[in-house]
Structure 1
Amino acid sequence: MLRTVKHMEDYVISATDGNIGHVKDVYFDDETWCVRYLVVDTGTWLSSRKVLISPISIGQANWAGKQLPVSITKEQVENSPDINTQTPVSRQQEIRLLKYYGYPYYWSGYGMWGDSVYPNLMLTGYVDLVSRPNDEDPQGVRAVKAEQHQDDDMHLRSSQAVIDYRIHASDGDIGHIEDLLIDEETWAIRYLIVNTSNWWLGHQEIGLKM
């Protein structure tokens, strides 16, 4: 099922030992159009510090209750690397964060999430045989390759920053981005919701497939 980013705002993020905070934004990869992190406001218990939570840690969502459970503790969140969510997140910062939680690098395999299309399967040793060729990487080669990408250009974008971007067709302006539609299983952005009311009366929103 598809969920809008705006719909997920203020969803509760629940650690194994209590609530962490509420979703305030998402960071997506502008190459794969996949959500890589939720920006979570921790509220009073961490002085409203904002932290990044990877979909890798998210379990079975309670969409009706607007709650996303994660397989980490509040102490882990409290001691996690402090990343300024008001500035672009660098690949070096990502490496530090993923190492801290013990997560594989999502860019190190053949799929959208390592060797898989599903983020929560990165921790199970699952191999997606559809997206991965039959050849096997020698032990340790993938980790070395992943480290080689530590100086890659930044491709993470804030959803809040791109909402209201203008959309231009080959023959003129269509409208502006109003929201993003996300696949709740893969966390891939499937559609842009575009407001066309400035020129197409009666058709306020359309979906552009990514």
Structure 2
Amino acid sequence: MLRNVNTIKGYAIQATDDELGRVREVYFDDEQWGVRYLVVATGPWLMGRSVLISPYAIQGIDEDGERIRVSLTSEQVKNSPDIDTDKPVSRQLESEFSTYYGYDNYWTGPYLWGAGGYPVLPLPESASVPPPDAQQESAARPAGNEEDVHLRSSAAVSGYHIAGTDGDVGHVEDFIFDDEAWVVRYLLVDTRNWWPGGKHVLLSTDWVERVDWTDSRVQTGLTQEQIKNSPEYAGDQAVDRDYEKRLHEHYRRPGYWDV
């Protein structure tokens, strides 16, 4: 199912024994657009500390109750590696986090989630282990190495300008992700700051050529006219396959579901 990131902000995180806190934002990576973590504000029980919850731990999303169930205990989360979510999170810190919870490192395999396309924990006997050289290389990297930082905050990237081949076309307002593969499929773009009386449209992350983190800009190979004439997206509508097909047909691009 496709969901807007903003719709799960504020959702409670329900552990096996207690409520952990509420979703503040998500971290996605700038290489494959995978949603790698929920950033959870824990509130007073953990002295206001923010913690990361991996999709590996997520068991389900309860829309009616605005709650996300996870396969963790409050004690596990309390004793998890202390990661300052207000600073860049390096691969070394991610590796420590993964080791603590027994997760695979998603960047050590060929697929979106390392050895697979979905965040499913492998059976112990089939768990993929990074080659020794890769483990040593990761451990040797300093935590502050800028080249080692690939996570981006949904809150920080909201507002980035969208640049077409012939000029700006709007700004990022939200992110639409697949809650099975946990990957960002689309950017929700508000065109009204470029085009008076404009509309909201979706831009597939497959059509993003690059993200300029210095200038806060997302570059696409589409033209202003193409985006202006694309199917409108109403914020309260579900992104179903019929809409996705119309969107991809408009741009004459193949659907990710056919690849």
TM range (shorter): 0.7 to 0.9
Name 2:12's counterpart in structure 1: 12
Name 2:58's counterpart in structure 1: 58
CA distance in 1, matches of 2:8, 2:27: 13
**Structure 1 stretches of 5 or more lacking a match?**
128-138
* SS of equivalent to 1:44: helix
Write 1 or 2 for the structure with the bigger share of helix.
2
From 178, 183, 186, the equivalent of 2:178 is 183
Percent identity between matched residues is: 49
Shift of 1:202: 3.5
Name 1:122's counterpart in structure 2: 121
* SS of equivalent to 1:95: helix
1:190–1:123 distance in 2 versus 1, CA, 3 Å: same
TM-score, L = length of structure 1: 0.88
1:91–1:204 distance in 2 versus 1, CA, 3 Å: same
TM-score, L = length of structure 2: 0.72
**Structure 2 stretches of 5 or more lacking a match?**
142-146, 206-259
> Where has structure 1 moved over 6 Å in runs of 4 or more?
none
Equivalences, count: 198
Could you list the per-position Cα deviations for residues 7-60 of structure 1 after superposition, in whole angstroms to 9, with x for gaps in the alignment?
110111111111100000111000000110110000111111100110011012
Name 1:131's counterpart in structure 2: none
Residue range with higher mean Cα deviation, 63-72 or 13-22: 63-72
* Structure of higher CA gyration radius: 2
Aligned-residue Cα RMSD (Å) equals: 2.0
From 163, 187, 190, the equivalent of 1:192 is 187
1:148–1:205 distance in 2 versus 1, CA, 3 Å: farther
Could you list the per-position Cα deviations for residues 69-128 of structure 1 after superposition, in whole angstroms to 9, with x for gaps in the alignment?
111100011111111000000111001111111111111222111221111x1334698x
Residue range with higher mean Cα deviation, 89-98 or 106-115: 106-115
* SS of equivalent to 1:61: strand
Name 1:103's counterpart in structure 2: 103
Contact 2:104 2:128 in 1 (8 A): no
Taking the TM superposition and a 5 Å limit, the aligned residue runs for 1:73-112 are 73-112=73-112
